[in-house]
Amino acid sequence: MAYRPQLSEARAPLTLITQVMDEQGNWREQALACERPLTIYLDKREIVTLMTLGEDPEALVLGYLRNQNLVESLEDVIAIQVDWEVESAAVVTRRTPDNLDEMLSKRTVTTGCGQGTVFGDQMAKLEHLELSQWSLKQSQIYHLLDSLSNHNETYRNAGAVHGCAICTRDGEVIAFCEDIGRHNAVDTLAGRLWLEHVTAEDKIFYTTGRLTSEMVIKSAQMGMSVLLSRSGATQMGLEIADRLNILMLARAKGKHFLAFSGHQRLELDAKPEERGRSEKRGRADD
C-alpha cells in the first residue's frame, strides 16, 4: 500500500451568512467566504502563517512544505495535525533540511493574495528542471473551459476566492480547490497529488488568478508545462515560462485566450470567426 502520513482531517465551514443592504435599501442574506489564519509549525518550529479558506488544510500544509522545498519526500512526513481552535498545523517529520536556518533567512514576500512566501533560492533550482513538451489543441482548451464552469461553488455563493484545478488534456478535472489566495489553492493541489501519488507531467494547471512568478514556479515544480488562466500574467511570470518553454495561456474565457509563451506547442484547430471580419461583413450587408 502506498505511504500516507497521519492526517487530522480537520474541517471548518467555508462560508457564513450575513445580512447586507442592497442599493435599493432592501435587506437580504449574503454568503461570505471565511478567512482563517493557519500557523504552520515544522517539528515545533514556527514557519509561516497562511490566511486560508480552510477547504483542505492538511493538503495545503503538505503542498506548501513541498513547494518551498522544506520537505523532500512524502515518506519524511509522519503526521500533520490541524487544530482550528488554536489556528495551527503541527507537522512532525523524520528529518528537516540541514540548511533550514539559511532557507528561512531567504524568505521573500511575493505578490500572492494574502502575501505568499518563497523560501531559499527557488530560481536556481529551475535551471536544471526539464518539463514535458507535449502539444495542446485549441479545441481541447475550449472543452476544458466548459468542464471547469461547474467547479467554483464557493465563488458562486460568496465570491472573494480564487479557484485552481489540475486537468487532463481531454478536459477531465481531476482536482479542484478554492481558497482566499491562489497560491494557497495551488499548494493544496500539490499536497493532494502528493498524497494520491499522482504525477502531473501530462496535466494542465488552471487558475482564475494571475500567473505570477510564484504561480509559474509552483506549477513547474509539480511538473506541469501547460498553464491556463482566466486572468492575466506578469512580466516575471512570463520570463520564467519562456525559460522553461511552458505553454502559458491567459485571459482565457469563452472562445478567447492569449498565448504568452510556448506558442509552437499550440495547435490552432478550432479558430473562431474573427469579430472584426464579422462586424465588417454585417455593415456591408446593411
Rounded to whole angstroms, how far apart are CA atoms 180 and 53? 6
**34, 99: one domain:** yes
Q: Which of 123, 157, 177 is the last residue of a domain?
A: 123
Q: What's the predicted TM-score (pTM) here?
A: 0.85
Rounded to whole angstroms, how far apart are CA atoms 161 and 155? 6
**114, 151: one domain:** no
Measured CA to CA in angstroms, residue 160 lies from 35, 60, 68, 175, 231 at distances of: 10, 18, 26, 20, 15
Average pLDDT over residues 133-152: 93
Identify the domain containing residue 181 by its residue range.
136-267
**187, 146: one domain:** yes
Looking up residue 99, the CATH number of its domain turns out to be 3.10.20.10
Tell me if 221 sits within 8 A of 193, measured CB to CB. Answer: no
**146, 114: one domain:** no
Rounded to whole angstroms, how far apart are CA atoms 114 and 106? 19
Question: Residue 284 domain-assigned?
Answer: no
Question: Residue 167 domain-assigned?
Answer: yes
Quote the distance between the C-alpha of residue 105 and its chain's center.
25
In this predicted structure, what is the pLDDT of residue 149?
84
Give the pLDDT band (50/70/90) at residue 252.
very high
Residue 135 — φ and ψ, nearest 5°? -100, 155
**100, 178: one domain:** no
Average pLDDT over residues 154-171: 89
What does the pLDDT look like over 34-45, one tens digit per residue? 989 999 999 999
**116, 171: one domain:** no
**147, 176: one domain:** yes
Q: Mean pLDDT, the chain, as a whole number?
A: 87
What does the pLDDT look like over 47-68, one tens digit per residue? 999 999 999 999 999 999 998 8
Give the pLDDT band (50/70/90) at residue 284.
very low
Tell me if 269 sits within 8 A of 137, measured CB to CB. Answer: yes
**193, 230: one domain:** yes
Question: Residue 21 domain-assigned?
Answer: no
Which comes out higher in pLDDT, residue 129 or 152?
129
**72, 173: one domain:** no
Looking up residue 212, the CATH number of its domain turns out to be 3.40.140.10
In this predicted structure, what is the pLDDT of residue 24?
82
Among 92, 116, 94, 87, which residue's Cα sits nearest to residue 10?
Answer: 87
Question: Residue 253 domain-assigned?
Answer: yes
Residue 194 scores a pLDDT above 70: yes
Residue 12 scores a pLDDT above 80: yes
**167, 251: one domain:** yes
Q: Which of 123, 151, 171 is the last residue of a domain?
A: 123
**Cα dihedral sign for 118, 14, 36, 84?**
negative
In the chain, how many domains are there?
Answer: 2
Residue 25 scores a pLDDT above 90: no
In this predicted structure, what is the pLDDT of residue 146?
93
Question: Residue 235 domain-assigned?
Answer: yes
Residue 122 scores a pLDDT above 70: no
Question: Residue 131 domain-assigned?
Answer: no
Give the pLDDT band (50/70/90) at residue 155.
confident
**259, 140: one domain:** yes
**225, 145: one domain:** yes
Residue 120 scores a pLDDT above 80: no
